[in-house]
Amino acid sequence: MGMITDGLPGFLEPLPGGSAVLTKVDQLVNWSRSNSLWPLTFGTSCCAIEMMMASGAARHDISRFGAEVVRASPRQADLIIIAGTIVKRMAPRLRTLYEQMAEPRYVIATGSCTIAGGPFIYHSYTTIRGADEIIPVDVYVPGCPPRPEALFYGLLTLQKMIREGESLRHPGERRRPVLSALPEGMTIEDIQAEMRDLLVADANVKMSEELAEGAHWAQELKDF
């Protein structure tokens, strides 16, 4: 593998038609990489339990997506699922684990704590506000903790990213296909407009509608 990934681009590129072959080799390599991710058992808190439910237990069963070989040693793993809060004392260890992992290595950050600090974002003197301050993160999975299904969506996104975003010509560089996840016929402007409407709707409350909808709460409020 090392011979192919390191030597092939320099050998094929000067040949006539070599670029087309190289693109095919890219596809093959990315396909095999994306379907044989070996995650590391790394969990610091609550998200680790949901990760166990997703990866170990029979109902959700992560092996359907080709990522079931969970390893305890970072040297045998190429995917780290950061499950749980990272605090200042753990941060150097996380960095060490990341550097010990086999290349090319991928990172999924699960849970609000690893995205921005989660419930510990204010007034905590130890929490790292987001794991991306320590190591580069490929996919973020929100939730507190995220459901196993959410983790699977994150894993599928990562697989898509590996398949479409890497080339042997530029090892270590990834293109992030952010817009490729959009449904057909939808543009980023539509989403922004929708977000604006949502924010406006969130910020304004029509009391008459609220009371009509939530008759239950209205009754309860009247009792006091």
Partner 1 sequence: MTAPVPSPMASASPNPAGVRITSLEERISGTGTGSSPLATQEYFVNMGPQHPSTHGVLRLVLRLDGETVREVVPVLGYIHRGIEKIGENGTYRQFVHLVDRMDYLSALANNWAVTMVIEKAANMETNERIQAIRTIVTELQRLHSHQLWWGVFGMDLGAFTPFFYGFRDHEILTDIFEKTIGARLTMNYIQPGGVMYDIHPDFVKDVKEFLAYFKPKLREYDALVTENVIIQQRLRGVGVLSAERAVAMGCTGPMLRASGVAHDLRKSEPYGLYGRVEFDVPVGTTGDCWDRYWVRMEEMRQSVRIVEQLIDNIPEGKHFLVKPAAKIKVPAGIHYSHLETARGILGVLLVSNGKDQPYRIHCRTPNFNNLWSITEMATGGRVADLVAILSSIDIVVPDIDR
* Interacting residues toward partner 1 by CB under 8 A: 41-46, 48-50, 52-53, 56-59, 72, 74, 84-85, 87, 89-90, 93, 97, 119-120, 122-127, 144-145, 147, 217, 220-221, 224
Q: How far is CA 41 from each of CA 50, 81, 175, 221, rounded to the nearest angstrom?
A: 12, 8, 27, 48
**CB atoms inside a 10 Å sphere around CB 102:** 13
Closest approach, Cβ 92 to partner 1, in A, equals 11
CB closer to partner 1, 127 vs 157: 127
Closer to partner 1 by CB, 101 or 139: give it: 101
Judged by beta carbon, residue 1 or residue 58, the one nearer partner 1 is 58
Residue ranges with strand state E in the chain: 39-40, 79-83, 106-110, 139-141
Minimal distance, residue 120 CB to partner 1, in Å? 5
- As measured in angstroms, the least distance from the Cβ of 67 to partner 1 is 17
Enumerate residues 6+ apart whose C-beta is below 8 A from 63: none
- As measured in angstroms, the least distance from the Cβ of 43 to partner 1 is 6
Which is closer to partner 1, CB of 194 or CB of 213?
A: 213
CA distance 50 to 43: 10
Token look-up 């439910």 returns: 53
